[in-house]
Every structure is written in C-alpha cells, then in structure tokens.
Structure 1
Amino acid sequence: MSTDVVILAAGQGSRMRSRLPKVLHPIAGKPMVRHVIEAAESLEEARLHVVVGHGADRVRESLSDVSANFVMQEEQRGTGDAVARTLDALGDGPVLVLYGDVPLIQPDTLAALMEGVDAHHMALLTVRMAHPHGYGRIVRDEQGRATAIVEEKDASEAQKRIQECNTGILAATGAHLKRWLPQLSSDNAQGEYYLTDIIAMAAAEEVEVLTREPHGHYEVQGVNDRVQLSALERIHQHHQAQRLMREGATLADPGRIEVRGELSVGRDVFIDVGCVFEGTVSLADGVVVGAYSVIRDAHIGEDTTIEAHTLIEGAEIAGAGQIGPFARLRPGTRLARGARIGNFVETKNARIGEGSKINHLSYIGDSELGRDVNIGAGTITCNYDGVSKHRTEIGDGVFVGSNSALVAPLRIGRGATIAAGSTITDTVDDDSLAIGRSRQTQKSDWVPPHRR
C-alpha cells in the first residue's frame, strides 16, 4: 500500500536571519528538506506532498528534480492548517507528517512508526527529555494510553512536569485526517490550528495512539537558528566519521572531516585532518589523503597518495598514483596507473598515461598523454584560441623540456624530445628533437635603464 508523506516546509525561519528559506539551509552541503525527503523515500511507495509558503518558488526550484506535489500555504496558521491544505490530494490510506527543518530523522525510525497504522490505530513519535521546556507534553490516562498533547503555553503546572514530549511527527490514515482536520480550532494561546489536537480526537473515537521513540534525540531536533543548524551539522559529521572508521578508514581526527555527499572507502584508507568530500567520492584500498584536501565527484584507485592541499574534481585515478601537494585536477582528468601529478600542476579534460609525470608548475588541458611521458616544469598546453578548445596529443616516452608552450591543435610523436623554452606549433615526428625558440643574441654595450 502506498504512503502519503506530507512534509511541512512553509515557515519563514526569521531567527535564521537570512533571505534563504529556512528549509534550504544546508546540512552536509544539502538542504535540510532534501535530507527529510530522502528519509521519506525509503518508505515503500511513498507519495510526497511538500507544503510551501515563504520562499515557495526557491523551494520548488531547489527540489525541481523531486517527484512531489507542492501545496501552497500562503498564511502560516499552524501545523494543522498546513496539513489540511493537502487533504484533496491524500488517499484514505496511511499518511505520515514530517517537517522540513527536522533533517536527521532516520529511515528505520519512520518504518517503525508506520507499523500498525490502520483504521483503528494512529502513531506518534515521542521523546523523553530531562528538561522539556518549550515542548508539547504527552498526556496519558490511567491505563497509560496517550490521550492528548498539551502545548507548553497551554499546559498546567502539573502537565509541565511531564517529561514525555511531542516531536510533531505522526501518522494516521487519510480517512481519519479528512474527518479530524476540519474540526480543529484556533482557540489557544497561539491562535493557531494545532495538528496535535487530533490526538484527543483519536482518543475520543477509541482510535489507539501508538507511540514510538527514535534512537536518539538528534533525529527529532528541529532548526530555528544557525546555532542549532551548526549543532546538527556536527552530529551528522560525527556519524559519518564513525561509519567510515567502521568501514576501514583511519581518520587522523574524526572531528575534522567534512562529508558533503556520499563517500565510500576501502580497507586501510587514511584521511588526514581538514579534508572535505563532496558529491560522490570513492576511495579504494590503501588510499592516503593528505591534510586539507578537497575531493569532489571522483574515484581514487588503490594505493594512491594524495598530498596535502590538493583539489580533485570530476577525476578518475586508476591506482598507485601520486598527486600533489597543491595540485588541482579538474573535471575530465583521467590518470592511468602510476601516473604522477606534482605541486602547482593543473589538469583539465586530460588523459595521462601509465607512468607519466607532470611534476611541477604546469597546466595540461584537453590533452592525451601516452605512457612514460615527462612534462617539464612550467609547461602549458595552449588549448584555447579565444573561440574554441583544441587538443594536444603526446605519444609514449615523450620528454618535454621546462617552460615549453604547446600550441594546440598539436601532435607530438612517440619518443620525441621538446627542447626547454620552446613554443611548439607544428606536428613533431617520432623520435625527433623539436626546438622552437630564437637563437640567443647578446649586446655588449647594453646599459640598463636605471644606469642611464
């Protein structure tokens, strides 16, 4: 049976002090609401309904790739009113209500919450807190059944001492919600339509309220300001670090790693401090990542060493590579086994053959290098003519002397040598020496300007 999932994402988040809608503020480089959506999509046959309001266009644009029904709540009049806006789109089966600013809810918690929701049962996620100030309290009868939720501002002194709190996350059938939500009243301290009032309606109709608790409080912590956002970021990163260590990685400092996407690791991986991983990254067995490196959407083959302060984006490294320090591998870079990229080298859309080396201060773009090529310091491929990009092809065993300019389109044959300081514009034959520089001249009567 399909499950309708209603995600409330209409709030302004004024305490964030930002022009960005609150639910779009990121955790691990991804909008909070997207974390919630991914958890919801773990449920079988989930149908998403996102209630938007403040910054609705930006929220829709950010989630343009998500298959969801977007519903407008122009005036924020409480959670009950927000869910009521979706009633016409809901079926009569199970409905789960989530919040776009509660980003760390876990799929297994949602699966457990949905168990048993039917015509005679609804479900509520609760949490026990030593200091529950500000939270709605769960009121139970003599048999221990949940019968109501009382908000802090409406609670009596006795009710304020209750430590079991409402998280706002609940599930009921669409048939029940279609009957209960139109009966909500705004006669309360906030003047809002509380979704939580349906608990008392369920109890009055003898619909049992099943309660579940999350594995940790962090799953139900919402974000109202940047301090809370930062706290959840650290919790999320802590969990990522623990996962990586269990999967075979050694982290020099588990508190100084940032995973902003999907990072997979093999055995005996070592990650030094301050490294950032974005998008989809895989590190094979034996990879070493030096301090303060940034790796984005890349595969790093086994036994590769990445020295400190290296930026890799959209690249593939076959294995046994040596990269950095202070290197930049841009999208389209492909390194064969044993290739080496040294300090202050930049590559883009370049295939570097097995055993080839670019060790210092060079730019290699739109190029294909064969095996065992040596690129001298200060070499650049001049791949852009102001309108179009052109390719440079360098054969096996080529030696390019320092400070050379290779003007594309260009082919350098197998085993050729390029003299240092050359500007090469024409094809170089196999096993030949190319010299592209003027003959040195000297003026013995030269007087420098400062002596004139």
Structure 2
Amino acid sequence: MTKRYAIILAAGQGTRMKSKLYKVLHPILGRPMIQHVIGNLRPLQLDKQITIVGFGADKVMEEVGNKSDFVVQEEQLGTAHAVQQAERLLKDKKGTTIVVCGDTPLITTETYEELFAYHEANNAKATILTTEVENPAGYGRIIRNENGKVERIVEHKDADKNELLVKEVNTGTYCFDNKALFAALQEVSNDNAQGEYYLPDVIEILQKSAERVEAFMTTDAEETMGINDRVALAQAEAAMKQRINELHMQNGVTIMDPANTYIGAEVTIEPDVVIFPGSVITGKTVIKSDSVIGPHTEITNCTIGEGTVIKQSVVTDSEIGNRVNIGPFAHIRPASTIGNNVKIGNFVEVKKAVFGDDSKASHLSYIGDANVGRNVNIGCGTITVNYDGKNKHLTTIEDDSFIGCNSNLVAPVTIGKGTYVAAGSTITMDVPEDSLAIARARQENKDGYAAKIRNRK
C-alpha cells in the first residue's frame, strides 16, 4: 500500500481576524479549527503528519500536542516556503503527501480519502482539490484543455476576460507524489509582486516537466471554505453546526430547534435523546438514550446516563448516572460523580462531590468536596463549608442520613449513617451513626419585648 503523509499549513498569524489569538486556534463549536482539521485527517491512518507553525508556535504546539510532528517556519515567505520546511522529515520518502491548510476545518474525511484515491488511481504527480463557486472572485481558476485535463492555474488578477468566467477554482488543498513535490520546490521562485514562494507554482513546474497533473472536484463548495476573518468564522460555525445536527437527527436524536442547538464534533449522542433549544453540548460528552437536555443547558466533557433530565443548567467535566433529574438552574462543576435516581434541584451547586444513588439536594444548596452516600436527603440551604482560607476539606455524609434546612457542615467532618441533622445547625464535629445532631442557640422568647422596641422608635 502507498505510504501517505500530510503537511498542515498553520504558520500564519491571521491579521484579518484582528485578534490576539492565532487564527488556527479560533474555536468552532468549542474546538480550535486546527483540531477539526487534524480530527478529519486522523481516520486516514497517515504514516506521518507534520504541522508547519510560525506565529504563536508554542501555543499551537501545546494545543495539538502529540497528534502531529512540528516544524517551525521562522519567516513567513509563502506557502511553498512553508511546505519546504518539512523537507528534512519527508524529502526522501516514497508515497503521497497531502497538503492542507489549518484554516479549512470543514473538509471532511471522505473528501480527503476521495482525493487520495483519485490521485493514486491516476498515477498523478499532483492532484488539485477543486470546486465550483458561483462567485469565484479572488480565487485561482482551474484552466482545463479540450480533453478536460488541467492545463494551468490562473490567479484572479492574472486572468483574462474568458478565464474570469471559469467557476472551477483552486481550494488550496493538494495531493503530491512526495519526491516530485520536494524536487519541484527547489525550482519555485519568488519573482512576484509579494516576493513570496507560492505552492501553486509547483503545478506549473511539474507540467513543464511533462508530469501528470490532475484535478479532483468536490461538489460541496462550502466544505472548502478558508477562514480569514470573523465573518468566515461565523459562516463556518453555522455550516458545521448544521452538518453535525443533521447527522445526529439522522441517527435518531430529536433536536427541537436545530438552528439554536450547538453540538460539538466530538459529542456522542444515543438514539431517543431529546434536545431542547438553547443547549450547548461540547467536548467529549456522551449522552445515553432517553435523556432530555435543555432548554438552555450547557454540557461540557460529561457522561450523561440513560433517562436523565437536565434543564436550564450547567454541567462540566462530570459523570451523571441514569434517571437523574438536574435543574432548573443547577450547576454541576468539575470532578463530580452523580449516581442513579438522584435529584439535584434548582439553585444547587455541586463541586468535586460524589452523590450516591437515590440521594437528593432539591434546592438552594452548595455541596463541594463531599462524599454523599445513598438515600441521603439534603435540605434547602445546606452548605458544606469546605474552605478554611488555605485548604479544601472533605465532608462525608453516609447512607440514609437526613440533613435539615440551613445546615452548615464545617469540614473536615463525617455525618454517620442514618443520622438526622436538625435544621439550622452548624456541625463542627463528627456525628455518630443513628444520632440526632443539634447545634444551634437555644430559643428564648421575651414576652412583650416587641412593644418596647416599637416605643423606642
């Protein structure tokens, strides 16, 4: 089988984005655009992948991590110069190299695979990914001869009247015979208005050497969109949102209002899940069947069990069990594990806590750094007082306990199994199991005293 390699061009700053953030790190549906590119290339099982970095190299490499090798383009002297930076890693290798732009996150794995297959089946030295657009202004035109073969690429500014009418354009993605690519790069000149080395010049160099050059046209022009400014970023996000939502709906997910539902590319949703408007689901979230999400719910990097309902709430980096009811207006913060048949009600905040099966905190509570057992009832206004100004401490509430309203559990503290904590208590010591803990001032009534207060006024 032919060896396959990829070069991702990600060295540009993206000045038209008008941002401190480097262009390829701008997110689409919660994921940097370069991660979409890498994710779409990954199923091809490439033998080597190299990302060319320049502006913001450290941040780009940190984001991509071990998913790619890297080469730094110290000076941004054009796309051919960028590809040439990979020479020491690829020059003598036999096989096919695909060159893609880090700002084209919509090109699918299927299109990449079709481009590879077309290139290799035709024994071409270069194959250009092309598409047809209604308004080709600014694009390089693909000029074919009478036999339909690629003759040349003409840049918009150099095209004559007839060439300007051509709607087939160069997308900036190519497949090359690897050795032919690096040989041709030696001949690329920067004799142009910008003084840069352009990758499309490789096509002309190969043609002059009578090498075979092909073009593979994708019928989906939208997926070849390059992102150069915030307008294109919004357009790409809208296109990807629609693509992802339609895929989930085709797989049996009910999305009540797709235009107002945002689902990330790495999210997995099982059939018979219902998603209401205003929901934002990102990261490596998994939602299991028969769950109901939303409206206006944000979920990031979570596993949501079967038959769980989450309304008007935020859930992050946590595991939620089966048949759990969360919200409205609850906040599940990172490192929380919620068991089965649990209720986390309105205005309850949970952080780094474990909730056992069948337990509930129905309203207006903060449960942080806590282990809550099974069948525990936490009353309204309960707080696990976990922070002493320097360190966080653990509260343990064992099975079958009942915590009365407006209780403060000052950690570190353990509430024993089957214990009752009286409403309004501030618990500072461990409570043995099967006990009643009362820690509040004794009530004193002063008859007639209210009249004295009013008379003072």
TM range (shorter): over 0.9
- Equivalent in 64, 78, 98 of residue 96 of structure 1: 98
- Taking structure 1 as the reference length, the TM-score comes to 0.94
**Aligned letter for 2:115?**
L
Equivalent-residue separation in structure 1 for 2:368 and 2:63 (angstroms): 33
**Aligned letter for 1:88?**
R
Look up the SS of the partner of 2:136 in the other structure. Answer: coil
2:318 corresponds to 1:315: yes
Q: Can you list the C-alpha shifts for 1:26-47, whole angstroms capped at 9, x where unaligned?
A: 1122222222122223323331
* Residue of structure 2 in register with 1:21 after alignment: 22
1:432: Cα distance to partner? 2.3
2:77 corresponds to 1:77: yes
**Is the contact made by 1:379 and 1:405 (CA closer than 8 Å) also made in structure 2?**
yes
Equivalent-residue separation in structure 2 for 1:219 and 1:40 (angstroms): 14
Equivalent-residue separation in structure 1 for 2:304 and 2:443 (angstroms): 45
Stretch deviating more after TM superposition (348-357 or 217-226) = 348-357
Q: Which segments of 5 or more consecutive residues in structure 1 lack a partner in the other structure?
A: none
**Aligned letter for 2:46?**
E
2:403 corresponds to 1:413: no
2:222 corresponds to 1:221: no
* Residue of structure 2 in register with 1:327 after alignment: 330
Look up the SS of the partner of 2:171 in the other structure. Answer: strand
Q: Which segments of 5 or more consecutive residues in structure 2 lack a partner in the other structure?
A: none
1:451: Cα distance to partner? 4.4
Look up the SS of the partner of 1:109 in the other structure. Answer: helix
- Equivalent in 380, 386, 410 of residue 377 of structure 1: 380
Q: Can you list the C-alpha shifts for 1:236-294, whole angstroms capped at 9, x where unaligned?
A: 01111111111221111001111235222222211111111121111111101121111
Equivalent-residue separation in structure 2 for 1:281 and 1:7 (angstroms): 27
* Residue of structure 2 in register with 1:46 after alignment: 47
Look up the SS of the partner of 1:95 in the other structure. Answer: strand
**Is the contact made by 2:124 and 2:177 (CA closer than 8 Å) also made in structure 1?**
no
**Is the contact made by 1:15 and 1:224 (CA closer than 8 Å) also made in structure 2?**
yes
Q: Can you list the C-alpha shifts for 1:306-336, whole angstroms capped at 9, x where unaligned?
A: 12x2111122222111111111112232222
- 1:390 and 1:191, CA in 2 relative to 1: closer, same or farther beyond 3 A? closer
* Residue of structure 2 in register with 1:354 after alignment: 357
* Residue of structure 1 in register with 2:56 after alignment: 55
2:244 corresponds to 1:240: yes
Equivalent-residue separation in structure 2 for 1:239 and 1:451 (angstroms): 72
**Aligned letter for 2:89?**
A
* Residue of structure 2 in register with 1:8 after alignment: 9
- 1:274 and 1:152, CA in 2 relative to 1: closer, same or farther beyond 3 A? same
**Is the contact made by 1:153 and 1:189 (CA closer than 8 Å) also made in structure 2?**
no
Equivalent-residue separation in structure 1 for 2:64 and 2:373 (angstroms): 43
Equivalent-residue separation in structure 2 for 1:182 and 1:415 (angstroms): 79
Alignment of 1:44-443 (within 5 A): 44-74=45-75, 76-90=76-90, 91-115=93-117, 116-117=119-120, 120-307=124-311, 309-443=312-446
Look up the SS of the partner of 1:64 in the other structure. Answer: helix
Equivalent-residue separation in structure 1 for 2:318 and 2:14 (angstroms): 38
Look up the SS of the partner of 2:357 in the other structure. Answer: coil
**Is the contact made by 1:8 and 1:100 (CA closer than 8 Å) also made in structure 2?**
yes
Stretch deviating more after TM superposition (200-209 or 5-14) = 200-209
**Aligned letter for 2:214?**
L
- 1:293 and 1:224, CA in 2 relative to 1: closer, same or farther beyond 3 A? same
**Is the contact made by 2:244 and 2:265 (CA closer than 8 Å) also made in structure 1?**
no
**Is the contact made by 1:40 and 1:46 (CA closer than 8 Å) also made in structure 2?**
no
Look up the SS of the partner of 1:345 in the other structure. Answer: strand
1:225: Cα distance to partner? 0.8
- Taking structure 2 as the reference length, the TM-score comes to 0.93
1:119: Cα distance to partner? 6.5
Equivalent-residue separation in structure 1 for 2:20 and 2:435 (angstroms): 62
**Is the contact made by 2:373 and 2:399 (CA closer than 8 Å) also made in structure 1?**
yes
- 1:356 and 1:155, CA in 2 relative to 1: closer, same or farther beyond 3 A? same
**Aligned letter for 1:67?**
S
**Aligned letter for 2:114?**
A
Aligned residue pairs, count: 450
**Aligned letter for 1:41?**
R
How big is the alpha-carbon RMSD for the aligned residues of Structure 1 and Structure 2?
Answer: 2.1
**Is the contact made by 1:250 and 1:271 (CA closer than 8 Å) also made in structure 2?**
yes
**Is the contact made by 1:301 and 1:318 (CA closer than 8 Å) also made in structure 2?**
yes
Equivalent-residue separation in structure 2 for 1:77 and 1:223 (angstroms): 20
- 1:188 and 1:377, CA in 2 relative to 1: closer, same or farther beyond 3 A? same
**Aligned letter for 2:375?**
D
**Aligned letter for 1:374?**
N
Look up the SS of the partner of 2:218 in the other structure. Answer: coil
- 1:261 and 1:437, CA in 2 relative to 1: closer, same or farther beyond 3 A? farther
Equivalent-residue separation in structure 2 for 1:322 and 1:332 (angstroms): 18
- 1:260 and 1:184, CA in 2 relative to 1: closer, same or farther beyond 3 A? same
1:73: Cα distance to partner? 4.0
Equivalent-residue separation in structure 1 for 2:191 and 2:454 (angstroms): 88
- 1:218 and 1:233, CA in 2 relative to 1: closer, same or farther beyond 3 A? same
**Aligned letter for 2:3?**
S
Stretch deviating more after TM superposition (181-190 or 113-122) = 113-122
Equivalent-residue separation in structure 1 for 2:455 and 2:98 (angstroms): 81
1:450: Cα distance to partner? 10
Q: Can you list the C-alpha shifts for 1:354-385, whole angstroms capped at 9, x where unaligned?
A: 22111011111222222222111001112222
- 1:451 and 1:270, CA in 2 relative to 1: closer, same or farther beyond 3 A? farther
Equivalent-residue separation in structure 2 for 1:69 and 1:244 (angstroms): 34
- 1:128 and 1:276, CA in 2 relative to 1: closer, same or farther beyond 3 A? same
